[in-house]
Amino acid sequence: MARHIIEAVQAWQPEQTGLPNASTNPDIMHACGHDGHTTMLLAAAHGCTAEVEYRRGVPATVNHPEQTKPAYAYAAAIVGAQAVDPNPDASTGAEDFALMLEQRPRAFMSIGGGAPDGTSPALHTPLFDFNDATIPLGVAYWASVVAQELGNPGD
């Protein structure tokens, strides 16, 4: 026996997909895939089958170690090693940068712009508020990268 629980997600704004199956209730939206999971379970219960064709679109964002090591060192010099995560969780973000990484060895760095306590809403949502206090740290980081890479430390 298979069991599935479906529930609607309480929304902070109306669903904005523009799809025919979008929620018409402004307080609830389809943001977690519950509808899709219910469809899968119902199809399986009725003996339906499906054929899936997977095509890889954009490559994963993978840093090159030789470029990543100094990038972390520059960050640690500015905010301290304890504030720099040399092993961040994998992310599907920066897919456009992944294409560049296939052509040129580089490193993708993430400079936190959320709340200091880490409670910020996700990026690219209507509730995200960039933390302006990170701007001076970002400026110092990029100035350090440029100076070090051009051979002008301290400039």
Q: What is the pLDDT of residues 127-139, one digit of tens each?
A: 677 788 888 888 9
Alpha carbons 78 and 140: distance in angstroms, whole number: 7
Q: What does the pLDDT look like over 23-81, one tens digit per residue?
A: 777 766 665 555 566 677 677 777 777 776 766 667 778 888 898 899 999 999 999 99
**Domain edges within the chain:** 1-54, 65-149
Q: What does the pLDDT look like over 17-28, one tens digit per residue?
A: 777 767 777 766
Report pLDDT for 1.
43
Q: CA separation (Å) from 149 to 5, 23, 53, 155?
A: 55, 51, 44, 11
> What pTM was computed for the model?
0.57
